[in-house]
Structure 1
Amino acid sequence: MQFELEKAIPVLERTPLVIESLLYGLDDEWIYSNEGGDSWTPFEIVAHLVHGEKTDWIPRTQIILGEGSKEFTPFDMEGHIKEGRGKTLPQLLDEFKVLRKENLAQLKAVEISPDLLNNTGIHPVLGEVTLRHLLAAWVVHDMTHIHQISRVMAKQYDEAVGPWKQFMGVLGGRR
């Protein structure tokens, strides 16, 4: 499927609602458990999404479409720690909804033509990327974290499903 902004925006609009539906009102065991090691909890994932709304997608879009340097500021992969400090999950979910709505309003206000989608910026790791790449990555980034939240939550019942694990793709089974 080719990237089309008009088809991407409805997905971006739904992400906060999907995540809120998955997490809101759940016991802390679901919210603050991870997959082991230094993996992220659902709380940390939401804090990461909030941090990204503030520092990644729209700021980088503005760099690509603006005048001057096209170099992106490196993304702070630890920014979610500060973002979540002192906040509850409902506060983060509400903040994510508000920020996403504001960011999409900014994106829609630009009236991005097919030609503008070819404008480029310089990613600190990837090098030259187009606006099309950036906006498509925003959609897939959302899907990645929805998948990650589902996987982290499923992991909590890894042993509890017993022999059914072989049929649970999210737990490494065949399906």
Structure 2
Amino acid sequence: MFSLAARHGHLRLYGRESMGSRPLSSLVAMRRSRKQYTAQTCIEFSPTSFQQMAGMTCYYHSPKLRYPYISCDDEGQRQLNIMSCLGNLDLMADFPIEPKSIRKPCILPISFDGRDWQTIDHTLDATFLSCEAGKGDGASFTRAFVGMACQDMTGMQKPADFTYFHYYQ
């Protein structure tokens, strides 16, 4: 799933199944310890298929997440999107971001003020990332996480290299 030796000074995550796959997703995250925080990572990733993606996530559990990620379109052009799942198991890619924002390496920032979640010029509601907002299966999970993830639904295990992960309270 990951390596600290494959590329010196980097965390390499090998793409695995989707964010909705509980046991087989490639995710390294830490539990959010404060109501307000800022996190940032620097990622190098060159997808060759729209089924390959890597980025940073605010993750409560598989049906509750926000995920800014790098992928590519059908022509192979890198793009940055934000995936959201608001608790109903319907993963959706939304908020496409202009390609000019995607540099190599790409810095992904996330900021959370206790209600709103911000990244790459987008502010979104994040109150659903809590026990209090849950209903049904998995509603009582233990707090939200923030971290790095990589998916490759082609089965080729495309890697993403993360230079750093910073978390500020």
Normalized against structure 1, the TM-score is what? Answer: 0.33
Structure with the higher fraction of residues in strand conformation: 2
Structure with the higher fraction of residues in helix conformation: 1
Which one has more relative contact order, counting CA pairs under 8 Å at least 6 apart? 2
Normalized against structure 2, the TM-score is what? Answer: 0.34
